[in-house]
Structure 1
Amino acid sequence: MNIGQASSSSGISQRMIRHYEKIGLIPPAVRRNSGYRDYDQRDVYTLRFIGRARDLGFPIEEIRTLLALWRDRDRPSAEVKKLALSRAAELHARAAALESMRCTLEHLADTCHGDDRPDCPILHELEWGTP
């Protein structure tokens, strides 16, 4: 199948497929006599794997590791679990940071009169770090 078909089947854009080839995340596609890339079902499975890993927040280098573990049928599952738990902890920390920012913004908005007066605790916080 050509790159457009591989893209449709995997849910990964053509641009990203080319990028993944360029950075060595996936092997270069076999080329037809015409020079066009030719993908098979195994390539589509790999692209779907990458897409799901990206959706779960794994960065490229961890996806590279996951791909190696996926291909190694003798790998201990403990390595995979360790990566997943590490990513979950990272996401938890980011979620907590986002929640803190949301609470701060809501507090600042609550302290702002939001009228024609120039005094604004939101801008004061951004300038000085205190409302």
Structure 2
Amino acid sequence: MADASSPQRVILVVEDEPGIRDGLQMLLELEGYDVVVASNGLQAFEVLAAKDCDLVITDQMMPRMDGITFLGRLREQTRYRALPVIMISAVPRPPEAIGPLADAFIGKPFEAPRLLQTIQRLLASGRTAPIA
């Protein structure tokens, strides 16, 4: 559960499958996080322009802009280089391309406790995107 003494952390969920996106949003909100959503990488950039986020969870395979392209463009921007990112994917092994782009990779289907532990670990690491 998110620490009640700290400000509410904002997590951006980028997922094209509505059932998974809604399930992640519900799980994370129950854990005390503020959750914003996007259905592809292009929408994710619109969300990031409007709201400061503490962590991103992104799917790998999405229409319009996939997760690897999204992360590549995200990391090109100084503002988001240190933003913690978890990539989730139905692909059983992380592609080599995500090595320098994501902080963690979790295959689908995933177990909620593992995802929550990974989120807590990354948020506790103190890495954040600098304020522009």
- TM-score normalised by length of structure 1: 0.32
Give 1 or 2: higher helix fraction.
1
**Larger C-alpha radius of gyration, 1 or 2?**
1
User: Higher strand fraction: Structure 1 or Structure 2?
Assistant: 2
TM-score, with structure 2 as normaliser: 0.32
Q: Which has the higher contact order (CA 8 A, sep 6+)?
A: 2
